[in-house]
Amino acid sequence: MSGKLNDKVVLVTGGNGLLGRAIAERLQLDGAIVLNADIAVTTTADLSNIYCDITSEASVSQMLEQIVGKYGRIDAVVNNAYPRTKDWGTKFEQIPFASWQKNIDLQLNSYFLVSQQALHYMKSAKSGAIVNMSSIYGVVGPDFSVYNGTEMTMPAAYSAIKGALVNLTRYMASYFGPYNIRVNCVSPGGVFDHQPDSFVSNYEAKVPLRRMALPADIAPAVSFLLSGDASYITGQNLLIDGGWTCI
């Protein structure tokens, strides 16, 4: 344990997910008090698990009131949750407009909501840090050739949402910088999650390091950006992609 996050109260949304679990575990190793906000958990007395629907203003408000009521503060937030509709991944020509609208609401608007309400407490404390989880596809266009031979595709809303998060991060960093609050973004490349072999082969052939990312490749960067080691870093988007975006 490094101790660089000792006793920091850190909220991680979507901590039950692939990246969320790895991030939460790393933050705990570095000394943080990690609170996992997820719709798939029941709230525990220590709030290490706390039920929250991040798309609901009332649910988010209640969650943050519980956290501040118990710990007196919230030091950091990792916006990591990934809510989406059941038809996520529909090809562009076939996306119902209502689905497009819903996914923008579920993902982008929930990141805004959690951030806005957490920043209220951070602003009063004149201290805090936020990391937003974006993606390489919030920065560059997708290479559709990696999906050849699979039923997979790159959801159009994903690019729009992740790109918007990068610039929302810059906005919040600029706006809240005078209150000693830092806001940064982490943009992973493709993370291995037992995708079809053909996709993995296609992807790994194109990335300079010749492998997909693992959750353990991403989590340390989140911890770093929340820590004092990054005390003069704000408004940045850290791409962790094995070199994908350098070529």
* Cβ–Cβ under 8 Å, residues 212 and 190: yes
Q: Are strands 76-79 and 49-51 parallel, antiparallel or unpaired?
A: unpaired
- Catalytic residue chosen out of the listed positions 111, 121, 137, 158: 158
β-sheet bridge partners, residue 132? 79, 185
Contacts of 93 by beta carbon, 8 Å cutoff, 6+ apart: none
Q: Is 158 a catalytic residue?
A: yes
Task: Reduce the secondary structure of the chain to three states and give it as a string.
Answer: CCCCCCCCEEEEECCCCHHHHHHHHHHHHCCCEEEEEECCCCCCCCCCEEECCCCCHHHHHHHHHHHHHHHCCCCEEEECCCCCCCCCCCCHHHCCHHHHHHHHHHHHHHHHHHHHHHHHHHHHHCCEEEEEECCHHHCCCCCHHHHCCCCCCCCHHHHHHHHHHHHHHHHHHHHHHHHCEEEEEEEECCECCCCCHHHHHHHHHHCCCCCCECHHHHHHHHHHHHCHHHCCCCCCEEEECCCHHHC
Supply 86's token pair: 């059941």
β-sheet bridge partners, residue 182? 129
> Catalytic site residues?
158
